[in-house]
Each structure stands twice: as structure tokens, then as C-alpha cells.
């Protein structure tokens, strides 16, 4: 059975309270690390419309290419929970980053956006497959993602996700259903519109 990533993202005004709550709840921090994600689309299919993901991720000491399929009513719940199968290809080392970009561009893929973030993973040794990820994204602000990677019952994974959010008192933070890629492109489009109107 394929592994499915179940996640929900929320906006944060401040990281500090959440990070204290995570430590009090027994989560262990891994990081922070800097991740740079470059997103691509096909020339004949707009991944912004289909909400597909094709990205090259650069991070401390490694890089990978990831694909996530298009979104529909089975992958996106009305409560902002996203459940998708991820296909990840880890590259040998950071020297392969340029080759990954060259390969995608040679195949005609269109570069969409570059997202840079500082990311800290929090893990609970008693709950394998569960991560709480705290991000500060350049140009966007701070966010928290509660993620579960599972090959079992999706319903059980969603229950575990919601229980973790309650434990961490995340219910008052607004759900964000758009990928960082889309959020950043929207901000950049608004900035371009402001600059154009001021000319």
C-alpha cells in the first residue's frame, strides 16, 4: 500500500508560543534548516490550476525532486486537510541540483516560483510518522504544518492530526489550504500591480 501524506497548514502570528508548547508536550526539535524549493509546471497543463506539485528541493547536505498529483475532492477536504501520495527522488548530493533543473527544463517544464524557508521539524518518539513542522517563509511569514505519513487508515490519520492540533492549541490559527508556491505568486502579483498603478 502506498504511503500517503496527510497534512493541514495554519498561519502563525508568532512561533514562540507554539515552540514552547511543543517542548512542553515532549516534541523534540530537529533543525532549523534552510530549504529552497523551485517549482515547475508543464507547458500544456497549468499546475497552479490543477494544484499539482513538481519541485526541486535544496536543503542542508541534500536535494530531491518531488511530485504530488493533482487535487480533487478526495485529496482536499473542506476542513483544509490534504491527503496525497508523494513521489520523492533523492539525488546523490547537492552537486546534482543544477542537473535536476537542467533535466526538467530540457523536458520543457516551466519554472514557476522559488520559495525559501527556515524549517524546524518537531517529532514525538511515541508517534512515528507524525511531524509538526514550523516554517518561516521569506515574503510570507510563519506557518505550522501538522503532517502524518501513513499507509494505514486515512480516517485514523486525520483523527491523530486533529488530536495533535488540540494538544498544541492550534484551533484558533487560520487554516491555509494553498501551497506556499501559490501564496508567494499571489503576493508577487499584487506587488507588480501596485508598482504598475504607481507609474
Q: What is the pLDDT along the chain (199 residues), one digit of tens a residue?
A: 567 899 999 999 989 999 999 999 999 999 899 999 999 999 999 999 999 999 999 998 789 999 999 988 888 888 889 999 899 999 988 889 999 999 999 999 999 999 999 999 999 988 888 999 999 999 999 999 999 988 877 888 899 999 999 999 999 999 999 999 999 999 998 876 665 666 6
H helical segments located in the chain: 16-24, 47-50, 97-106, 154-167, 180-197
- 52 contacts 84 by C-beta, under 8 angstroms: no
Q: Which residue has the cell 506539485?
A: 53
Residues 192, 187: Cα–Cα separation, whole Å: 9
User: What pLDDT is recorded for position 12?
Assistant: 96
* Angle CA 78–122–23, to nearest 5: 110
DSSP of 95-136, one letter per residue?
Answer: GGHHHHHHHHHHTT-EEEEEEEEEEEEEE-TTSTTEEEEEEE
- 10 contacts 174 by C-beta, under 8 angstroms: yes
The class that CATH gives domain 4-197 is mainly beta
Going from N- to C-terminal start, the domains of the chain cover 4-197
User: What pLDDT is recorded for position 45?
Assistant: 96
Amino acid at each position: 500500500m502506498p504511503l500517503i501524506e496527510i497534512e493541514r497548514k495554519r498561519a502563525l502570528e508568532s512561533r514562540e508560543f507554539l515552540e514552547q508548547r511543543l517542548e512542553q508536550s515532549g516534541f523534540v526539535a530537529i533543525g532549523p534548516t534552510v530549504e529552497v524549493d523551485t517549482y515547475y509546471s508543464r507547458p500544456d497543463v497549468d499546475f497552479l490550476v490543477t494544484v499539482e506539485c513538481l519541485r526541486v528541493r535544496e536543503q542542508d547536505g541534500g536535494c530531491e525532486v518531488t511530485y504530488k498529483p493533482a487535487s480533487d475532492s478526495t485529496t482536499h477536504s473542506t476542513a483544509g486537510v490534504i491527503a496525497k501520495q508523494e513521489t520523492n527522488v533523492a539525488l546523490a548530493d547537492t552537486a546534482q541540483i543544477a542537473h535536476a533543473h537542467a533535466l526538467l527544463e530540457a523536458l520543457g517544464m516551466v519554472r514557476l516560483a522559488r520559495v525559501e524557508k527556515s524549517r524546524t521539524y518537531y517529532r514525538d518518539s511515541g508517534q512515528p510518522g507524525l511531524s509538526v513542522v514550523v516554517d518561516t517563509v521569506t515574503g510570507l511569514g510563519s506557518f505550522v504544518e501538522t503532517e502524518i505519513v501513513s499507509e494505514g487508515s486515512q480516517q485514523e490519520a486525520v483523527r491523530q492530526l486533529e488530536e495533535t492540533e488540540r494538544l498544541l492549541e492550534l484551533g484558533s490559527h487560520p487554516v491555509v489550504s494553498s501551497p506556499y508556491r501559490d501564496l508567494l505568486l499571489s503576493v508577487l502579483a499584487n506587488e507588480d500591480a501596485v508598482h504598475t498603478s504607481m507609474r
